[in-house]
Amino acid sequence: MSRMIIVEGDHTTGGGRVVTGSHETDIDGFPVARVSDTCTCPKHNGTFPIITGDMTFMVDGQPVARHGDKLACGCALMSTRQFRVFLDDMISNDASADAAMFAAAFPAVASHPPPEAPVTHVHTDGGHEAPPDPAKARDVVTASNNALMEAGAFRVYDTELQAAKAWAVVVEPVANSPEFGVEVGANISQVNGKFVLGTAYSTGSATSCDGLPEKGHKIAGGRHTAYIHTHPAPYGGTGRNRAYTRGELPDDPFSEGVRGRLESGWDIGPGDYDAAYAKKLNAYIAEPGSLLEWNFQRYLQLQSEAHAEDSLADPAVELGKAEIRH
């Protein structure tokens, strides 16, 4: 898992900020934070040192701090100021282990997944799918992350829905602006009972956000619970008419083939909801003027209710039945 390097000014889960960093090493002008550097913490009413870091990468003799590393008060660091330089976690945390990858100036959050990696199709539009545009992906990711930072959206939320709503208000206008017109997404993780947004992700395609669950930034140490992405128009989630019985899953969540039963409509294309169902995640879609929510547990409950009503037939339930428009 890749974890962004922390710099001076980054936030903490306790509502504080990193206030010290290296005098010799910076990223885009922001001093790099290390173990022993200090952070404010309004939650615990004090200033506390960073106590964990990457033992394989030293800055000024101290382990560099990464997204998710801890303070002495128990709160965690959050990367919110720079999104270009990250470290890959190593299997061993011993200092003698191979050095972690230091990918300077590499747009990790905007990279298109390699073809050999399994990729979940997030709202593909069949034969009308627009190709990826790496240059546009980099630009829209940068613009989206800057807008999220300016809005103070990189913080902790009490509920997943609050996080999704905050993201949608900020990113949907950016993604659907005349300058970009592409889909943008992000993952949502649960950390210590709270919810945190990952950084923006895009392939630069106008009709899909493929690879978001796998390749999009996820909070280290957190539990991946959902993903959110934009749509250019309010036409709902793709695949809403696919239907599955209790315990039934898509045969192959990574193929282009049509799966699931046609129950009452035409929309059985691969994309939004079958991807979330296969991954056992919640899904949110930010459309102009509204936010759609698809809840995995709600869908399982609908399947169970359908089975209880007719256990012999065990009727399939459309994915769209679990869709709520906010």
Structure tokens at 13: 């889960």
Instruction: Please report, to the nearest 10 degrees, the dihedral formed by the alpha carbons of residues 175, 278, 257, 318 taken in order.
Output: -90
pLDDT given for residue 252 in this prediction:
44
Distance, in Å, from the CA atom of 59 to the CA atom of 22, rounded to the nearest integer, reads: 8
Judge contact between 109 and 67, C-beta under 8 A.
Answer: no
CB atoms within 10 A of CB 104: 9
**pLDDT 10s digits, 164-181:** 999 999 999 999 999 999
pLDDT given for residue 71 in this prediction:
86
Q: Is the pTM of this model over 0.85?
A: no
* Average pLDDT rounded to a whole number, residues 15-39: 90
HSE of 120, CA atoms in CB hemisphere, 13 A = 20
Structure tokens at 98: 């191979």
* Domain annotation for the chain: domains and CATH numbers: 2-88 (2.60.200.60), 134-254+261-311 (no CATH)
**pLDDT 10s digits, 245-266:** 887 776 544 444 444 555 555 5
pLDDT given for residue 282 in this prediction:
96
pLDDT given for residue 178 in this prediction:
94
Highest average pLDDT, of 5-9, 136-140, 147-151, comes from: 5-9
Is the pLDDT assigned to residue 101 strictly greater than 60?
A: no
CA distances from 36 to 51, 52, 53, 85, 219 (A): 6, 9, 10, 21, 22
pLDDT higher at 131 or 4: 4
pLDDT higher at 249 or 59: 59
Is the pLDDT assigned to residue 222 strictly greater than 90?
A: no
Minimal CA–CA distance to 60: which of 86, 36, 93, 87? 36
